[in-house]
């Protein structure tokens, strides 16, 4: 009978330890997701893809990204390197923290170029060649 009590205690200790480990992992995930960088990357990637989709060739769009600039500087990234637009794949990638970032596709059949100035990104839409 004593052996059975010892097994129950060991099972309970293992059960509680695994639950605590799982809880810690969940909390770390929530903190990382809510840190702001992921939300900013996601927001700007979606916003730029939607702007490109709604634009027409010849348009120049100005996007104020002051909060992204401040966050990138805190993370040690250059502001003019946080956006990458791949015209071959029709893909917008915003990477503020240098960890891969967030990507979204656009469907408009245009050639996209972009440049920075102060806190702004300028997105230029041209006809595909």
What pLDDT does 30 receive?
83
Tell me the three state secondary structure of residue 47: helix
Does 110 have pLDDT greater than 90? yes
Backbone angles phi, psi at 51, to 5 degrees: -65, -45
Q: What is the per-residue pLDDT for 33?
A: 72
Q: Sign of torsion, CA 25 27 29 35? A: negative
Comparing 97 with 23, the larger pLDDT belongs to 23
User: 85, 114 in Cβ contact below 8 A?
Assistant: yes
Q: pLDDT, tens digit, for every residue of 27-39?
A: 988 877 766 788 8
Model pTM greater than 0.85?
no
Spatial distance between the Cα atoms of 81 and 76, rounded to a whole number of angstroms: 11
pLDDT, tens digit (0-9, with 9 covering 90-100), for 56-82: 999 999 999 998 898 888 888 899 899
């Amino acid at each position: 009978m004593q052996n059975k009590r010892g097994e129950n205690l060991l099972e309970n200790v293992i059960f509680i330890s695994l639950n605590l480990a799982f809880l810690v992992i969940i909390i770390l995930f929530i903190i990382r997701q809510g840190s702001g960088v992921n939300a900013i990357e996601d927001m700007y990637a979606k916003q730029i893809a939607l702007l490109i989709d709604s634009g027409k060739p010849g348009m120049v769009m100005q996007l104020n990204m002051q909060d992204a600039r401040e966050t990138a500087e805190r993370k040690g990234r250059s502001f003019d390197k946080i956006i990458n637009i791949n015209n071959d794949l029709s893909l917008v990638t915003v990477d503020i923290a240098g960890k891969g970032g967030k990507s979204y596709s656009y469907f408009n059949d245009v050639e996209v170029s972009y440049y920075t100035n102060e806190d702004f990104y300028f997105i230029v839409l041209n006809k595909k060649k």
